[in-house]
């Protein structure tokens, strides 16, 4: 069976193609206000995340996201199934799911 290699949270995973991802993926994102985003996942779960505490005072690759205009340019990375910004910054899918949904991400 063909395999695909993806990286989640810095950990390389080898997935068997045709069986689907190990984790629910982000399928849509909506910007309501401030630094909040509303996410919907491939398993039907949905929830919101306030990114303000994660961005405040950052001077690394996340610094551009402190500009609200740039923050609003968030999208869904179709290949990785996570959020991504124009500068390539993304967030760990497991962290997004567990923060937005409030429960551990299912695997397998």
pLDDT in tens, 52-85: 999 999 889 999 999 999 999 999 999 999 999 9
Burial of residue 78 (CB within 10 Å: 0-12, 13-18, 19+) is exposed
Predicted structure pTM score: 0.77
The CATH number assigned to the domain holding 92 equals 3.30.2020.10
Confirm whether 79 is domain-assigned.
yes
Beta bridge partners of 46: 40
Confirm whether 7 is domain-assigned.
no
Confirm whether 13 is domain-assigned.
no
Give the chain's domain count: 1
Confirm whether 84 is domain-assigned.
yes
Confirm whether 12 is domain-assigned.
no
Domain of 27, in residue numbers: 21-101
| Res. 105: pLDDT tops 50 | yes
Confirm whether 31 is domain-assigned.
yes
Q: Would you place residue 108 in the very low, low, confident or very high pLDDT band (cuts 50, 70, 90)? A: low
For the chain, give the mean pLDDT. Answer: 83
């Amino acid at each position: 069976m063909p395999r695909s290699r993806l990286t989640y949270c810095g950990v390389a995973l080898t997935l068997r193609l045709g069986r689907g991802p190990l984790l629910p993926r982000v399928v849509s994102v909506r910007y309501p206000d401030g630094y909040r985003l509303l996410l919907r996942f491939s398993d039907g779960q949905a929830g919101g995340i306030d990114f303000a505490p994660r961005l405040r005072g950052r001077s690394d690759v996340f610094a551009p996201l402190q500009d609200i205009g740039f923050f609003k340019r968030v999208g869904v990375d179709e290949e990785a199934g996570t959020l991504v910004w124009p500068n390539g910054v993304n967030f760990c899918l497991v962290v997004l799911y567990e923060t937005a949904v409030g429960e551990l991400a299912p695997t397998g």
